[in-house]
Amino acid sequence: MKQAKVTVVDVARAAGVSKSTVSLVLQGSSLVNEVTRARVGAVIRELGYVYNRGAANLRQSKSKIVGIVVNDLTNSFFAELAVGMDMVVQSAGYIQFMANTSENADRQGEVIASMREHGMAGLILSPARGTTAADLRPLVDSGIPVVLVARNVPGLKVSSVVSDGHAGAMAAVRHLIELGHRRIAFLGGFNDTAVFDERMRGFRDALLEAGLDASDELVISSAPSRAGGVVAVERLLSMADRPTAALCFNDAVAFGACDGLRSARIEPGVDFGVIGFDDVIEAKTAVPALTTVSVDPQGMGRRAAQLLLKQINAGDFDAEALVATVRLVVRESCGAPQRVRELTA
């Protein structure tokens, strides 16, 4: 069953040429004669030769491997992000190491170290909570291109692709205000993260701009998950002066909020306005369809991957910070009637 592997030397012998010639054929060089190329090609197929990229990489000291490390693949947002990266990485002829860290910074450190040993050409990282600049310093100092995505790490001079959370949150809150809401909450997310902070500031600035209450009690943090959304909305419902709408930290929280509202017999999109953040794939088909700030995770993933590949190909490069623009997608959950939306669309 197990076959001895065939190498360029075997191919060379069988084709009656030298290994150098075979190598030339392999890289599609124009130096080699047409008929030789054909003969070698035939032998390659016949013997079932498999190119050993590891050996080539060793000689050339470069690889076509990138690393992708993500904090939580079970979250659709990050899964989509990964899929976007996958697309451009694959079609550039690269292949990826991919690992999930489950928000564990230690594990993240281990997998990055392992990827380094395996000779990755660059890394796209959606950092785990608690990642410090010091964790990544050795890697970036070694000259390997690194692109941070979705989240930033303060104090580290590397490229990044993040969404404009402040602008997105402002747009969402302005829309709720236009719909007539006067008391609006911010739901979910851990309040010690940069992303939370940015979105929350956008929320607050929009309220202040309209002269509305923006006090701390309106900000209810929780885990940035569906379950967290349920918890947060329960806290909200127990408030004395109950808000009539909420901007949620992300779509997962928004779905959780809808669940929580419904089990309290409050119909989201009718009795209470809910807006999410991220525009996860389910947002469109959920009932009610989720009004959300679209950040196009696949698109972000693609841009991050493109940026990384650019830096890999450029001999040297500067850190570049891309801010993905963001767009409010009005659907049903905010209380805007669908009919209006269709007419304007």
Partner DNA sequence: CTCGTAATTTAGATCGTTCCAAATTTCAAG
Partner DNA sequence: CTTGAAATTTGGAACGATCTAAATTACGAG
Which lies closer to a copy of itself via its Cβ, residue 198 or residue 291? 291
Which lies closer to a copy of itself via its Cβ, residue 1 or residue 240? 1
Which lies closer to DNA via its Cβ, residue 26 or residue 210? 26
Strand partners, 254: none
CA-to-CA dists, residue 140 to 103, 107, 151, 229, 330, angstroms: 21, 18, 17, 36, 40
Backbone angles phi, psi at 105, to 5 degrees: -65, -35
Q: What single-letter amino acid sits at 254?
A: A
Q: How near is the Cβ of 88 to DNA at its closest, in Å?
A: 24
115 counts as binding DNA under rule CB under 7 A: no
Which lies closer to a copy of itself via its Cβ, residue 241 or residue 318? 318
Q: Which residues lie near a copy of itself (CB under 8 A)?
A: 1-3, 5, 48, 50-55, 57-58, 61, 63, 65, 68, 73-74, 76, 79-80, 82-83, 86, 90, 95-100, 102, 107, 110-111, 114-119, 138, 141-143, 226-227, 230, 255-256, 258-259, 262-263, 281-282, 285-287, 316
34 counts as binding DNA under rule CB under 7 A: yes
Q: Which of 7, 104, 193, 298 binds DNA (CB under 7 A)?
A: 7
Strand partners, 68: 98, 124
H helices present in the chain, as ranges: 8-15, 19-26, 34-47, 53-60, 76-91, 105-117, 133-141, 165-178, 194-209, 226-237, 251-263, 297-313, 338-344
Site for DNA in 55-114 (CB under 7 A): 55-56, 58-61
Helix-, strand-, coil-residue percentages of the chain, each rounded to 5: 45, 15, 35
38: left (phi over 0), alpha (psi -120 to 50) or beta: alpha
Site map 11..30 versus DNA, x via CB under 7 A: ------xxxxx-xx-xx---
Residue ranges in contact with DNA by CB under 7 A: 5, 7-9, 17-21, 23-24, 26-27, 31-34, 36, 51-52, 55-56, 58-61
